[in-house]
Amino acid sequence: MDRTAKIEPEKPLSKRILLGVTGGIAAYKAAELCRALVKAGHTVEVAMTDAAQRFITPLTFQALSGEAVLTSQWAAGTHHGMDHIAAARRAELILVAPASADFLARLAHGHADDVLATLCLARTAPLAVAPAMNTAMWHAPATRRNIERLRADGVWILGPDAGELACGETGPGRMLDVPEILAALPGILGQGVLAGRRVLVTAGPTLEPIDPVRAITNLSSGKMGYAVARAAAEAGATVCLVSGPTCLPAPAGVRRIDVRSALDMRDAVLAEVADADVFIAVAAVADYRPAQAAPHKIKKTAGTLTLDLVRNPDILAEVAARDAPPLCVGFAAETGDLLAHGREKMARKKVPLLVANLAQDTLGQDDAALVLIDAAGEHPLARADKLTQARRLIRHIATLLP
């Protein structure tokens, strides 16, 4: 099949989803989410905490889902008083939206003190949570620890989004909008456009040592590469992320290899690329490195300091030149003449897809405007947050795969 031919992703199969609702003003979004899941063909069963019922009634979810709503593990039922355990066994996905700070804390510590926490602890299905809380609560050290614990336990963390909150403050803490949650589900359920594919991603800067305390690096934050890795995992791929130095947590379900220099990154990529179907080179790899790093700190003197620099290997071009390369995707951060430089880099590195952006508008930012360049032409992506752009890129990559 011609790699430029457009292919339509398969329609996701219907699943039985247990929707958990916790206390918070974002509970109204859970009603919209329930309706959207049912409309998409899924069977939805809802479990609510006591706090959730102060914001929205079980009757609302019963009407929207067509199923009885679980509100207590003490309720008599048809499964020897164990309806909550039976529900956990029926579910093919447990999705908690919104997930309050309190619920995330209890989940991270394995509590089973209400029907929803018990369901999550007794699950055999994947678990995803969509946090929703005040910005200060999201940034609190305890919440950060709980989120990292949940990531380590294999829980999918969906969001939160940033924006104006119900309390009037602005910042991260908003529950993801329903379309964003729906976009993440196919990958979690193994039905994404990259299901069964192996994707290798590089991200972040490289750090080229001058001496034991100094190095040549750049302003890359790694945010775009991490977003691409997350989007690929959401699309069902098995993802390996080779990352230069960043402060970012590894996305859920992504295997991360930490490196420092360009040579380290090259070694890690070459060790992994043979199994990859797609290689996405997002990292801002330093073009040059000191020819010889000093073994001790270079002392300041009255004179000038001259560094002898040598070229670093071109990792993307090397992978693209292999006998049977994966689908290679390059990134070009330019400061002007975006399309001309992008086209030239695409031809020089011999890759089928290149993502171009203006460095001054992108490096370190949470959003970006991109242009996808391939054999069919240029495809501008209007400015949006980097995860949205990453999801758009992954959908485009899927159309290029044989």
Which of the residues are catalytic? 167
Bridge partners (DSSP) listed for residue 180: none
- Round to the nearest angstrom and report the end-to-end CA distance of the chain: 6
- Residue 135 in contact with residue 94, Cβ under 8 Å? no
Residues sharing a CB contact under 8 Å with residue 364, sequence separation 6 or more, in sequence order: 219, 220, 221, 223
How many CB atoms neighbour CB 382 within 10 A?
Answer: 9
Q: Tell me which residue has tokens 């990154």.
A: 265
Integer Cα distance of 93 and 17 in angstroms: 5
Q: What is the CA radius of gyration of the chain?
A: 24
